[in-house]
Every structure is written in structure tokens, then in C-alpha cells.
Amino acid sequence: MGTLRRLLWVLLLATLVMLASVFAYMNPGRVDVDVGFARFEQVSMSAFFGIVFALGWIFGLLAAAGALLRSASDKRRLRQDLQYAEAELQTLRKAP
């Protein structure tokens, strides 16, 4: 199963590289980019697209990481609450 997953990742990566190459070949033009705090002149359209795509991916990873950390914290808190409840139940069962 691990080898198949690795092969699929390699194929996906190769496909993405090929698509990026085709995009760069078909869009040789240069654009001026104004991002509010800086202005970049004569930036390759394919480079600009790749940078924006990478920044969006990183932002998505950070957003997902925040949700996962919050979920892990809730899970840890619930596990502690369960242990306290089980301990209380044991003491109540032992009581006459």
C-alpha cells in the first residue's frame, strides 16, 4: 500500500510540474503587480501565478493546522474530563 501511495504522489507531482511548464510556455508575457505595499514591474506571469498559488497553499495549511491544534486541545481536555468522571464513578461504587 505504501509503494502505491508513493507512486501516486510522484505521478501527481510530475503532472503538476508538467502543467506548470505548459502554463509558463503558453504565458510568456510579463505583468506589473501592485500588492498595496509594494510594486513589482515586469514580473513573469507564470512566476507570479506560482507564487500566489504557493502562498495560498501555505495559508490553507496554516488555517488547517489551527483547526487541528484546537481539535487536539479539545480532545485532550475531554480525555481528562473522562478520567475524572471514571475516578469519581469508581469512588461512588466503593461507597456503601
The pLDDT of residue 83 is above 90 = yes
What 8-state DSSP symbol labels residue 44? E
- Asked if 45 and 27 count as a contact pair (C-beta separation under 8 A), the reply is yes
Q: How many CA atoms are closer than 13 Å to the CA of 28, on its beta-carbon side?
A: 1
- Asked if 9 and 16 count as a contact pair (C-beta separation under 8 A), the reply is no
Lowest mean pLDDT among 7-16, 17-26, 71-80: 17-26
Residue 41 domain boundaries: 2-94
How many domains does the chain fold into? 1
pLDDT per residue over 42-68, tens digit each? 988 888 888 888 999 999 999 999 999
In sequence order, the 6+-apart residues with CB closer than 8 A to the CB of 43 are 30, 31, 32, 33
Q: What is the pTM of this model?
A: 0.59
